[in-house]
Amino acid sequence: MKNVTDELQKILQDLTDEGKKPTTALVRSRLTTQVPMPAIITAVKSFKSTSSIPKIEVKDTPLTADERIAQLELQVKELSQRLAALENK
């Protein structure tokens, strides 16, 4: 699980400092992590009433097949280099 509370708090505070009324659309447009809409709505409502938000965590997004393959290829390369170094000793 990834904690996005700090990111949401910063976005909401930045919007307030800019003189803008925090809305779910503005918050969502500034997020770097995908957060479900109900969590954004809860954060905005809580911020408007208490200037703070509850802890919000989202599931880590799974890697795409291409990203997984790239990671595996890198691991194989590194392990092959280590094996070759051990064999040469």
41-72 confidence digits (pLDDT tens): 999 999 999 988 999 988 877 778 898 899 89
**Same domain, residue pair 53 and 21:** yes
User: Total domain count for the chain?
Assistant: 2
**Same domain, residue pair 11 and 49:** yes
**Same domain, residue pair 16 and 42:** yes
**Same domain, residue pair 10 and 35:** yes
**Same domain, residue pair 52 and 63:** no
Residue 41 and residue 10: Cα distance in Å, rounded? 15
Q: Mean pLDDT over residues 11-31, rounded?
A: 94
Token reading at 5:
């509370």
Q: Are 20 and 26 in contact (CB under 8 A)?
A: yes
14: Cβ contacts below 8 Å, ≥ 6 apart: 30
Residue 15 and residue 20: Cα distance in Å, rounded? 5
**Same domain, residue pair 41 and 77:** no
User: Predicted confidence band at 40 (pLDDT cuts at 50, 70, 90)?
Assistant: very high
**Same domain, residue pair 28 and 42:** yes
Q: Which domain holds residue 47?
A: 1-58
